[in-house]
Amino acid sequence: MRHHAFRLLASLCLTAIAPQALAAFSFSEEEEKQNAANAPKKGGGGGVSAACRESLKDKKVMVVVGQRRGNGTDANQGTYGSHFNAINQRLKKFGFNTFTQEEITAQIAQAEIEAHFRNDPDAAINASKKVGADFILRGVISSRTAINPVLRIPEVYISMGFTLTAADGKTISDAGASADSYSGTDTLGMALTLINEQAGGVVARLANDYCRHAVPAAKPKSK
């Protein structure tokens, strides 16, 4: 009798605990949380006012892209043609005028581009003068790989830091984006996916940061 009562009590305890345990390890719930956390990143990142767009329509921005590696930053622009074009498309949507990669590399030496990635302000000023740019937008790809402890497959974590600088070398705004993938170790492919999904929001933030300081607030109409 006592043994039967113990088994019954244990059964009731397991019944009470099981739903909580299942809830704690619900993959669907965790996926929903993750999707909710990522939603703002993949959105437009906020609008840009008409006054801001108007102030940008005659501004020229030069884009350079690099990837951080163990021995420094790889700034060979020919490697990042797809990334460059994807960023340029977003810039044009917000009213910026852009340069082609061929226009940039024809006028700026590789050594100057590499110096800009080392945060050399003189390199930024010289580059801006040579192409007639009002801004330089620098995108730096960073990555790390690891084995997912649960799925036991390669996992790639990608992030991109964007810095918008003025022609005089002063930083106007910084913004970032990040993502992860279980699909392998294709860093550049994941970086392109990241740009396609999140660059719109990043460019909106950069544009708004510029306009917040450069465009005077509209005066209320007098009644």
Q: Which two tokens stand for residue 91?
A: 């810039």
**pLDDT tens per residue, range 85-101:** 999 999 999 889 999 99
Q: What is the CA 138 to chain-centroid distance, rounded?
A: 12
In the structure, what pLDDT confidence band is assigned to residue 6 with cuts at 50, 70 and 90? very low
Other CB atoms within a 10 A radius of the CB of residue 99 amount to 20
Other CB atoms within a 10 A radius of the CB of residue 82 amount to 15
Report pLDDT for 182. Answer: 59
What mean pLDDT is reported for the chain? 78
pTM of the model: 0.72
Q: Which CATH class is domain 48-141+163-174+200-214?
A: alpha beta
Domain spans of the chain, in order of start: 48-141+163-174+200-214
